[in-house]
Structure 1
């Protein structure tokens, strides 16, 4: 099964959070680097890191 880019970004962000990173200390560039996507791709998918978090909550 292939994950969508949104799912992959959320999964990578969740890994960072579960490893002890504080959500407030994460920035979009950290998320992009971890997910191996360009910043413009992130903003095409999500308004900001908070909308990414809402997406993650909705998928759970």
Structure 2
């Protein structure tokens, strides 16, 4: 049985016609969680609440660092 490192990498690249089409998608209202102030204990508690809320209400969130 071949090991993955023995398989030529070219086998893992799809032909252009079979690749997914890239597009920009806006998720209006999707929660953005800013982790830039996560060094502060009080801010960390707020971020934890935001993450919990985003998971409950959306099931997803985007992380940013400003």
What TM-score, normalized by structure 2, do the two folds share? 0.26
Structure with the greater alpha carbon radius of gyration:
2
What TM-score, normalized by structure 1, do the two folds share? 0.28
Q: Which structure's residues are more often strand, by fraction? A: 2
